[in-house]
Amino acid sequence: MQRFLQTFLSHNTTMKKNDSLKKHAFAVIATDIVIFTVRDNVLQVLLIKMKKKPFAGKWAMPGGLIRPNEPLLTAAKRLLREKGGISGAHLEQLYTFGRVDRDPLGRVVSVGYTALLPSDAMLLKTTSEYGDIAWFPIKKVPSLAYDHNDILTTGLARLRAKLEYTTIVKNLLPKEFTLTELQHIYEVVLGKKLDKRNFRKKLLALDLLKKTGKRRGGASNRPAELYTFIAKDEKTIDIL
């Protein structure tokens, strides 16, 4: 037993010397959130600008450590509110990111989330801990802090996949929308054009939408009908 304690103490001392720059002595759990919206006809992601070393000046996704008695989803909602001024977003767990060297301050395992927002549903704000907060088009995202480029890639792949077999698209739309607006969201996220006639025929056959009885004027003299989703919950479908 004495030999074991001496070995343990010796090993622990060596670790402390090698990890003198690290903040976390043991593994901790965090969450990082990929926040998507469609703005200016482009799929965009929300980023905050780091102030602290070693990532000062770099952009990152909102996130942070989870409190000891805090459920994961509660933590994600709190961090969205604290670091982005966002509430009411659609949130779902994405993946667990646990690469050993993903955080230079120590062993931090991140439970990723995706958040979806309609473009008109937010007034962004962040704390003095960060230098800025801004939307970035997916194709213009810079090199991010930590492993956040990998998290973004995973989040984007998940969003595109779920768009094809669920009604998750509703979380990127206002409550009432035209069929043209709905198709446009699909095209922007998927990055491809869809045949208007086939898309509408298949969509309406799924009995997912109902007319609101309202119309919205457009560029032409024929105002477009407004629709809304019938069910509040996400449904499994075959839309594409």
Query: According to the model, what pLDDT value does residue 240 have?
Result: 73
**For 120-127, what is the mean pLDDT?**
79
Please, which pLDDT band fits residue 100 given cuts at 50, 70 and 90? very high
Helices marked H in 25-124 — which ranges?
Answer: 72-84
Query: According to the model, what pLDDT value does residue 25 have?
Result: 75
The closest of 191, 197, 200 to 239, measured between CA atoms, is: 200
pLDDT of residue 4 exceeding 50, the answer is: no
More confident residue, 7 or 154: 154
Please, which pLDDT band fits residue 21 given cuts at 50, 70 and 90? low
pLDDT of residue 31 exceeding 80, the answer is: yes
Are both 152 and 181 inside the same structural domain?
A: no
Name residues whose C-beta falls within 8 Å of residue 120's C-beta, 6 or more positions apart in sequence: 174
Instruction: Report the relative pairing of strands 42-50 and 28-39 from DSSP bridges.
Output: antiparallel
Distances, alpha carbon 77 to alpha carbons 7, 72, 86, 150, 185, in Å: 44, 9, 8, 22, 25
User: Is 2 within the bounds of a domain?
Assistant: no
**23: DSSP letter:** S
The alpha carbon torsion through 174, 179, 185, 188 (nearest 10 deg) reads: -150
Domain count for the chain: 2
Are both 31 and 137 inside the same structural domain?
A: yes
DSSP one-letter string for 115-146: EE--TTS------TTEEEEEEEEGGG--PBST
DSSP one-letter string for 151-206: HHHHHHHHHHHHHHHBSGGGGGS-SSB-HHHHHHHHHHHHTS---HHHHHHHHHHT
Tokens of 85: 């001024």
Are both 118 and 107 inside the same structural domain?
A: yes
| Residue pLDDT, tens place only, 208-227 | 999 999 998 765 567 899 99
Tokens of 180: 């043209």
Q: What predicted TM-score, i.e. pTM, was given to this entire model? A: 0.86
**26: DSSP letter:** S
Domain holding 16, by residue range, is 11-163
pLDDT of residue 15 exceeding 50, the answer is: no
- Domain with residue 152: its CATH number is 3.90.79.10
| Residue pLDDT, tens place only, 59-98 | 999 999 999 999 999 999 999 999 999 998 999 999 999 9
Query: According to the model, what pLDDT value does residue 79 have?
Result: 96
Instruction: Report the relative pairing of strands 108-116 and 90-97 from DSSP bridges.
Output: antiparallel
> Percentage of the chain surpassing pLDDT 70?
88
Query: According to the model, what pLDDT value does residue 163 have?
Result: 93
**For 30-52, what is the mean pLDDT?**
96
User: Is 38 within the bounds of a domain?
Assistant: yes
